[in-house]
Every structure is written in structure tokens, then in C-alpha cells.
Amino acid sequence: MHNFSANYNKLLEVLNTIEPRSNYFKQIRKPKLSDKELVSIALTSEYLGIESELQLFRVLPFSLRSKIERTVYNRRRRKLFHFIEEIRLQFVKRFNEFENYFIIDSMPLEVCKLSRANRSTIYNENGIESPDRGYCASQNRRYYGYKFHAVCSVNGIIETFDLSKASIHDIHFLKDVKNQMSNCTIIGDKGYLSNPYQLDLFEDRNINLDTPMRKNQLNYKKQAYVFRKSRKRIETLFSQLCDQFQIRRNYTKTFLGLKARILSKVTALTVIQYINKFVFKRAINKLKINIT
């Protein structure tokens, strides 16, 4: 699992089966390191848990390290954000093309401790995208940073995700979901309970939003057991993102860098799930098993 070259070659081989292009920008002079190779390096580093780019270039084989400088690598990786998302969606389509049931949830991404929030300057280059204070009900604590919103299938494949300020309520993510999904059932917790939103989703996109009711509500009915059990799938997925992919540990200084890093982590997760199912024919969510 810790052999960088072997894991890199395996991920590049899988990317070649999905994406025929090697470069995504029209350039007069082709770079020594193609865009696809750069994406493979980024995914391999996330899979192996290499958080520091300095450490990445220490373990990077000379055949790859000699083709690109560290600052150029960082700049090109951020520039390839939309193309990495296209690659991820191609993998997701292989899993979720005929899926009708999904789970929605969010988790906090803390930038720094509350005591340092007033003097923190990271991610503040743009007032619209800067972090702020929020409250996490599941952990019963306040924090300073962002929220990671996600919709996944019952098998644990992330269909769509987004970042928002910590103060934004979970229910507002449904506006984005409305523009990306249709003709399905989405299972959520009490944070997504809203009759107007449920009606709007059903009438416009034929999305059935199923959430547990509050006990003091009129005509209270307990949520189906199969839905309550399925909802735990996304919580396990979040735990895997925090444990192996360390999504809460980010050393980036700009919001664009943060987005690129999180996208790389989610894409690496999806690619490993793809390799488990279609290459090795094993359980897709055994992420710590060797892929080489």
C-alpha cells in the first residue's frame, strides 16, 4: 500500500480506461508531465495519506519529479479542478446510473479553534467564500470553518457534494440538489425536515425527500426502519473520509486550494471503490486493502 510507484501506475491504468485524453488544455508546447499523470499523482497522494506537498515530492519517483516543479504542480492541480470533477462523475455514473435511493447529510470542517477565529486570515481572500462560525448538533459544539454537504447512494458512492459556510443551514443545500438530481428518493435526518422544501422537490423534480418527523408533529409517523438503517451509510462514509483521507486536515491557505484538495480526496475515494468492484470484484468500501 505504501509503494508510491505501484499505486500510481494502477490508478493511471484505471484512469486510462475512463478518460482517453491526456491533456485538457490547448497548449502550443505540451508539458512534460501530462494532465492525466498529474491527476494520478494527486489521487495517489490522497490514497496514501500524504498531506504535505513537500513530503509528496520526497517520495515521488525521480521519473515523475524531474518532469515538474512543486509550485507548478500545485498551480496546475488547482487549475484542473473542473476536469477532475468530470473524471469523478464518469466513475460515479458506472455505479449510480440506475440508482433511485440516496442519502443526504453534512459534517463540519473546522478551519481553526474558535479562540483564534478573530485573527485567522486563511481562506479570507474573498469575503463571499470566507469561513464563519457555525454549530454542529451531532457533536453539540460550535466551530469556525465550513460545512461539507454530500449526497451518496445506499452503497456509499458520493453522487454530489459541496462546501458552504458553517452558518448555512443544511436545508439550503437542497437547492443545489434540485438542479442536479431528479426522479429519486432522498433520505435525510431531521435537519432537512421542511414541508415547503419537500413539496417543491416533489413537484419540480419528482424527488421524494424522506425525513424522520418530530414526535410533537401532527399525524406523527415513525420513519421506516430500512431508511433509518440506510442513513448510517453516509455517516460511515464520512468517518472513512476523516480517517483514511483526513478530510478535516488541510494545510492549504486559499479557498481554491481547499476545494481542490477536498475534490481530490473524494475522487480518490470513488476511484478506490471502482477498483474494488470492477477490478478485484470485492466489497467496494474496504478502502484500506491494497490495490496493487
**How far, in Å, CA of 71 to CA of 64, rounded?**
14
**How far, in Å, CA of 263 to CA of 130, rounded?**
18
**How far, in Å, CA of 213 to CA of 221, rounded?**
7
Are 41 and 8 a contacting pair, CB within 8 Å?
A: yes
**How far, in Å, CA of 158 to CA of 148, rounded?**
12
Q: What is the mean pLDDT of the chain?
A: 91
pLDDT of residue 204 exceeding 60: yes
Give 44-94 pLDDT, tens digit per residue.
999 999 988 889 999 999 999 999 999 999 999 999 999 999 999 999 999
User: Given this model, what pLDDT does residue 150 score?
Assistant: 97
Residue 100 confidence class, pLDDT cut points 50, 70, 90: very high
pLDDT of residue 126 exceeding 80: no
Average pLDDT over residues 179-187: 94
* b/e sequence 98-125, b meaning 16+ C-beta within 10 Å: eeebbbbbbbbbbbeeeeebeeeebbee
Residue 2 confidence class, pLDDT cut points 50, 70, 90: low
Average pLDDT over residues 128-153: 92
User: Given this model, what pLDDT does residue 34 score?
Assistant: 94
Alpha helices by DSSP H, listed for 120-254, are 174-180, 195-205, 225-230, 232-243
The angle formed by the CA atoms of residues 46, 241 and 7, to the nearest 5 degrees, is: 30
User: Given this model, what pLDDT does residue 110 score?
Assistant: 93
pLDDT of residue 125 exceeding 90: no
Per-domain boundaries in the chain: 100-248
Average pLDDT over residues 243-271: 92
Give 258-290 pLDDT, tens digit per residue.
999 999 999 999 999 999 999 999 999 888 888
pLDDT of residue 101 exceeding 90: yes
Q: Which CATH number fits domain 100-248: 3.30.70, 1.20.1260, 2.60.60, 3.30.420?
A: 3.30.420
**How far, in Å, CA of 184 to CA of 176, rounded?**
15
Average pLDDT over residues 203-211: 93
User: Given this model, what pLDDT does residue 84 score?
Assistant: 96
